[in-house]
Amino acid sequence: MIPDTAIDTVETILVDLPTIRPHQLSVATMRSQTLALVRIRCRDGREGWGEATTIGGLQYGEESPESVKTNIDRHLAPLLLGEDARGVGRLLVKLRRGARGNRFAKCALETALLDIQAQRLGVPMSDLLGGRVRDSLPVAWTLASGDTGRDIAEAEDMLERRRHRVFKLKIGLRAPEDDVAHVLAICRALDGRASVRVDVNQAWSEMQAERAIARLQDGGVELIEQPVPREHPAALARLARRFEVPIMADESLHGPADANQLARLDAADVFAVKIAQSGGLFAARQVAEIAAVNGLGLYGGTMLEGGIGTIASAQLFATFEKLDWGSELFGPLLLTEELLTEPLCYRDFELHLPSGSGLGVRPDPDKLAILRRDRTAPRLHAV
């Protein structure tokens, strides 16, 4: 007898949305974002949502929205269909053993399973992840228009509207000296009124990083994110030792094993924790715990997800005892369309978590029907 709590359908929906402005990174310039949303539905009609959105597709990482969809449809969904959704732990083991890698796809499925479980128990998802110690998270904004004047105007507007007072500058595309001039101009313009940080997205060699970071440190930059490639942890460690300004690992962290190695090498002062990059919510929790036991700082990172992935991240980050460097959970604010039935609450420089059970947010089915890439996609049913 198949229980009502058995998983009946697993559906992956791709949604292409324009961004409010070009978002320039060292690896890609984004003009739109493709959300990869996953819906798991049980026989009793209860459904959970997850998200596996990536940045810049294969220019950034190994998974693309299309590969996420294919791998879930063909390989991961069959591991779940017909199984009792209440056995989350067992299902996560099955997913881990059934496929290597695929961190983003697995994270989306894990999120949807936890969403369903938390709804059944009538608790917010954060209760399954350790319990909340805070109900809101500070949120940084990324300045990445590629133009110094436009970035300063954008920062002034955010300060005025009390939406953000921490700004992360995406650099690494131009020559390091041009980037340094750009960052220092913004530091001077915002002097004392905001925190300015940079994300190099692995673009520099160690030597370029040494020269540039010295000047950025003198100019008042508060945090240097991933200056060198993830393949060079020893170089990251030398930079972390050499400079007073904290060095943060982001792309270097593909889950707990990387976190463990970086901590042993003293390779970073701060970890950027991301749920999809880590391979799921529990793996991201392990990354955060490795940071905590080694006395490292923590920052809640984003893959520029829409509302589902953003709130899934927030449900986890709200359980961290310390979140010294705040978060960058601004993904939905970069998109031109609101997909949720209730927009997320950004107020007084923070993202406020919903109080409902599960994720506490839902996509609007009518908007999704209009915006999904393939409006006639078949669903995978349990047999």
Q: Which is nearer to Mg ion, 115 or 199 (CB)?
A: 199
Using CB under 5 A as the binding rule, the residues of this chain from 222 to 251 that contact Mg ion are: 250
CB closest to Mg ion, residue no: 250
Q: Which is nearer to Mg ion, 124 or 227 (CB)?
A: 227
Q: Which is nearer to Mg ion, 299 or 320 (CB)?
A: 299
Q: Which is nearer to Mg ion, 250 or 350 (CB)?
A: 250
Q: Which stretch binds Mg ion (CB under 5 A): 64-72, 150-158, 195-203, 315-323?
A: 195-203
CB of 264 to Mg ion, least distance (A): 22
Q: Which is nearer to Mg ion, 52 or 113 (CB)?
A: 52
CB of 5 to Mg ion, least distance (A): 38
For residue 346, report the phi and psi dihedrals to the nearest 5 degrees.
-105, 120
Number of residues this chain uses to bind Mg ion (CB under 5 A):
2
- For residue 22, what is the DSSP state? E
| Radius of gyration over every alpha carbon of the chain, rounded to an integer in angstroms | 20
CB of 55 to Mg ion, least distance (A): 9
- For residue 57, what is the DSSP state? G
CA dihedral (167, 172, 177, 181) in degrees, to 10, reads -20
Q: From the list 8, 115, 179, 199, which residue makes contact with Mg ion (rule: CB under 5 A)?
A: 199
CB of 199 to Mg ion, least distance (A): 4
Query: Catalytic one among 69, 106, 170, 274?
Result: 170
User: Tokens representing 243?
Assistant: 């400079």
- The verdict on whether 274 is a catalytic residue reads no
Binding mask 316-345 for Mg ion (x = CB under 5 A): ------------------------------
- For residue 175, what is the DSSP state? -
Distance CA 169, CA 19 (A): 17
Nearest Cα residue to 331 out of 35, 39, 126, 112: 35
Cα of first residue to Cα of last residue in the chain, in angstroms, is 13
The angle formed by the CA atoms of residues 357, 303 and 164, to the nearest 5 degrees, is: 80
Q: Residues 156-175, buried b or exposed e (16+ Cβ, 10 A)? A: eebbeeebbbbbbbbbbbee
CB of 235 to Mg ion, least distance (A): 17
Q: By the criterion CB under 5 A, which residues form the site for Mg ion?
A: 199, 250
Q: Which residues are catalytic?
A: 170
